[in-house]
Amino acid sequence: MSWQIVDVVEDGRYLHTDREWMVVKENQIEIGRIPLTDIQSILVHAGYATYSHELLLRLSEYDIPLVICDHRHEPISILLSLSGHHKQAGRVRAQSESTIPVRKRVWRDLVKKKVLEQANSLKPFDRIGHDGLRKLASKVKSGDPDNIEARAARYYWPRLFDKTFRRDRSQPGLNAHLNYGYTILRSAVARAITAAGLVPSLGVGHVNARNNFCLADDLVEPFRPLVDRLVWKNRSKWADELTPEARKELAGMMSRSIRTEDGETDLFRTMTMVAISLANLFEGTVSKLYMPGKVAFVDSPRFPGFEIGS
């Protein structure tokens, strides 16, 4: 399925429904519409926008996240359905009653996979960096007590871009593009989590009491390097402000196929498989979290995104 990201960037947009379509208007004039079945998520960066109550109901019915972003292109609020799976009550109970050792092992697997994917990002142009990250990945223990994730990040970012680069979510340029790409992944993972009958706020590695999407931040980790590679590929033209063209290409990630060691599939399906695997792990029907093999986008001539307001 070709998932579309709806990105609302201009002030004054009015979003509502017309049967099975989401419609966008400006000054009571329709400027765009898209089938609800085609929408992966809706991102709102505008200073102000309005929504019909019916639209919010339909988004919940279709399990479509509505993501409110700040000026740094980071999500500050996500509207999601409370019931995404027929076994939700039992799965939430299993999730909340999962043991600390189980959660620590899951976090170990997620961190290890993220660091290995960071290593794969460096492999085409920095073999030494690639080997260094793989060595760090082999040292990740249950719960990551040695904070290999942070150590890998300090090693990774200067090698991916250059020695002057610092990963800072408050900064423009490449950092803003990374923020935007991560927001897209985070909303998709949040949708996969609710569809699997789990609660996004109960994390395994992220445990911030103020964060209602700790589990989404956990499961998104192995997929972040996909954004890193796309930003690296466009680093020369994405060094300044986030443009409509850049947003479109980043949003197009969810329409792209990925090639893993398990075969070729779409990115959201892979995220869903990970979330379902975690639900099964909490319920005790499997003993290990499913993780795809080496993840990479499949090259194709077009990566469609859907944008309103450019």
pLDDT in tens, 120-153: 999 999 999 999 999 999 999 999 999 999 999 9
- Percent of the chain's residues with pLDDT above 90: 63
Q: What is the pTM of this model?
A: 0.84
Residue 66 φ/ψ, nearest 5 degrees: -105, 115
Write down the residue that tokens 């142009």 correspond to: 125
**Among the listed ranges 67-76, 198-207, 297-306, which one has the minimum average pLDDT value?**
297-306
- pLDDT (tens digit, 9 = 90+) per residue, 20-67? 999 999 999 999 999 999 998 898 988 889 999 999 999 988 888 898
Fold held by 4-79: Ribosomal Protein L15; Chain: K; domain 2 (3.100.10)
Q: CA 134, CA 99: separation in Å to the nearest integer?
A: 29
User: 228: pLDDT confidence band, cut at 50, 70 and 90?
Assistant: very high
Question: Is pLDDT above 50 for 304?
Answer: no
4-79 against 88-302: fold identical? no
Q: CA 121, CA 177: separation in Å to the nearest integer?
A: 17
User: 84: pLDDT confidence band, cut at 50, 70 and 90?
Assistant: low
CATH architecture of 88-302: Up-down Bundle (1.20)
- The H or E element spanning position 163 is none
User: 163: pLDDT confidence band, cut at 50, 70 and 90?
Assistant: very high
Count of CB atoms within 10 A of residue 96's CB?
A: 10
Question: Is pLDDT above 60 for 310?
Answer: no
Provide the residue ranges of all domains of the chain, joining segments of one domain with +: 4-79, 88-302
Q: CA 217, CA 211: separation in Å to the nearest integer?
A: 9
Query: Concatenated DSSP letters for 236-247?
Result: TTSSSS--HHHH
User: 289: pLDDT confidence band, cut at 50, 70 and 90?
Assistant: very high
Quote the pLDDT of residue 307.
36
Q: CA 146, CA 138: separation in Å to the nearest integer?
A: 12
